[in-house]
Amino acid sequence: MSFINTILNHFNAHPGKGFTVEVRGKDLTATSGAELLDLIERARGFMRNAGVKSGDRVALLAPNGTRWLASDLAVIAEGAITVPLYSRQQPRQLAAMLADCSPSLLIASDDKLESAIRESWTEPCRIVSYQELFAFQALNEPPFELGNDDPVTIIYTSGTSGEPKGVVLTSGNVDYMLVRVVAEIAKKTGDRGTDDRVFHYLPFCFAGSRIVLWSQMFRANPIMISTNLDNLVEEIKSANPNFFLNVPVLLERMRAAVGQRITATGGIGLTLYQKALAADARSLAGRLNIADKFWLKLAQSLVFSRIRRNIASNLEFLICGSALLAEETQRWFEMIGIPVYQVYGLTETMGIVTIDNPGAVKPGRVGCPIQGCEVRLTDEGELICRGPNLFAGYWNRPEATAQVLRDGWFYTGDQAEIDSEGNIKILGRLRDLLVPESGHNIAPEPLETKLVEASDAIQQAMVVGHGRPYLTAIVTGPVSDTELDSVMEKVNREVPHYQRIHKVYHAPEPFSAERDQLTAMQKLRRKAIEKYYEKEIQGMYQ
């Protein structure tokens, strides 16, 4: 029995239970199993009437929400293939993906999204809105019988360094991963037998988010869905989750915001906070003394407990993935009593290869491979893996597939280290390596992390220098020139001479997805940023 049967059976078995909870400010709106089944059956009725067949692609362009889930499950229940698209992506990029996968139907949540697509896509298929989709007569039939090799979704890569590619994931991939994820959650929650409060704000259209969404339904556990990223702080408080998935940029901003707020308030709270930070630093260096233990215990009681309550009083741990998390940020959350479990994976690996385990967390590393997944390093230090989570291939791209899938192994493109316990440290993308005129191979991500770590006022950083005489950087955020000089001096003291950053440009505005400088998961689009700041970069080398 495939995952779609399990999920629909849960809805049938618990018709009155709220499976999705949309968070709008302080309001929580639940949708029951019976209501979800009704939405799914109406969507299936529409698709059957529209001639959608098993194996057809159905694109889904909509923000997160209950109807997103119902649309997705309806497509899969009909034996078709969901192609989820990011609703805030540039229309021309969406049009390229649609042209690539040739869907027989596009589900667009509203008229605004439909109009944007029609203007950019010259050969559109039939486009249906939520209003029409869920007003159709319900189709009450068992779901299509999926085999292990049957594709269920095509997820497009972020295209950080090239054209997005459609990653084909099968029913077997999903079945394997959901069982593993449920087991990993049980390790961290103790399998307490009650519903966890799980909040989610990242776009459902990406692999990691999709696994979070499906795994909650697979274990008959509700999911609390963010509806407004501009109001995320209030939504997290309203949801009051036990845990949720994050990208590093949010955790780094949370840490910076807490430090700024405590500094602005001053008084005994600031004194305790500063002493605790100093004690934690000495603990890392192996020089913790009795006084340090006293200050840490006092800060835990008077300062850190308040910080935790201000985030969410139920919060037990956080999960973080998609990019490198600064070691200092992970240690900071651990210090205040909120463990952060890192997860590593790619779209091609169904979102997960490794995950941290309680009691074995090493800040700066991403944990050990999940059960059934093997990893090793090539002679060049590239991480490769194999297991039931590996994708079937790129849609209509056999040559690109052959480049990364060789003899059953997936070549991730990530440079890594593996310690004696199997715990992995990701050093950066091999194709992002900078080779200045000195000839050294330099991964930019660790240097960028150091810059962001060194000041709460630096929000983003990108290091430049491939083929050039020395390294430079672009930073964003409200950092003063004096503090920026201090940051540069600190970072350059900690690295070898060939990794020193000689000049820095302070950009007047943050990198943004609207200017194609960031992916939806906040990863840097390096080529786009270099092109945008071409004149400023050139100025740093004159």
Domains of the chain: 3-150+186-242 (3.40.50.12780), 248-313+317-430 (3.40.50.12780), 433-540 (3.30.300.30)
What pLDDT shows up at residue 160? 55
Q: What distance in Å separates the CA atoms of residue 154 and residue 397, rounded to the nearest whole number?
A: 13
Residue 257, token pair as written in the block: 């915001």
**Residue 339: exposure state from Cβ atoms within 10 A (0-12, 13-18, ≥19):** middle
Mean local confidence (pLDDT), 313-342: 92
Nearest Cα to Cα of residue 108 among 117, 99, 100:
117
Tell me the CA end-to-end span of the chain in Å, nearest whole number. Answer: 65
Task: Render pLDDT for 225-254 as a digit per residue (tens, 0 to 9).
Answer: 999 989 999 999 999 999 999 988 899 889
Q: What distance in Å separates the CA atoms of residue 539 and residue 267, rounded to the nearest whole number?
A: 44
Q: Chain centroid to CA 312: how far?
A: 20
Of 243-247, 482-486, 494-498, the poorest mean pLDDT is in 494-498
Task: Render pLDDT for 446-482 as a digit per residue (tens, 0 to 9).
Answer: 899 889 888 888 999 999 998 888 999 999 999 999 9
DSSP for residue 469: S
Mean local confidence (pLDDT), 90-110: 92
Q: Edge-to-edge strands of the sheet including 501-506?
A: 460-464, 471-476, 501-506
Residue 56, token pair as written in the block: 């057809």
Task: Render pLDDT for 132-149 as a digit per residue (tens, 0 to 9).
Answer: 999 999 999 999 999 999
Residue 159 pLDDT > 70, yes or no? no
Residue 347 pLDDT > 70, yes or no? yes
Whole-model pTM above 0.85?
A: yes
Task: Render pLDDT for 370-412 as a digit per residue (tens, 0 to 9).
Answer: 999 999 999 989 999 999 999 999 999 999 999 999 999 999 9
Measured CA distances, 104 to 83, 160, 285, 295, 396 (Å): 11, 28, 60, 63, 16
Q: Work out the angle between the directed axes of helices 444-454 and 327-336 (0-180°, nearest 10).
A: 50
Measured CA distances, 266 to 14, 63, 124, 296, 458 (Å): 51, 41, 59, 18, 22
Give the H or E element holding residue 474.
strand 471-476
Q: Which range scores top for mean pLDDT: 62-71, 252-261, 531-540?
A: 62-71
What pLDDT shows up at residue 520? 73
Which residue pairs, CB below 8 angstroms and at least 24 apart, start in 24-33? 24/227, 24/228, 25/228, 25/231, 25/234, 25/235, 25/238, 26/234, 26/238, 27/238, 28/224, 28/238, 28/239, 30/222, 31/66
Q: What distance in Å separates the CA atoms of residue 386 and residue 388, rounded to the nearest whole number?
A: 7
Q: What is the pLDDT confidence band of residue 162, given thresholds at 50, 70 and 90?
A: low
More confident residue, 162 or 514: 514
Average pLDDT, the chain: 92
Q: What is the pLDDT confidence band of residue 190, given thresholds at 50, 70 and 90?
A: confident
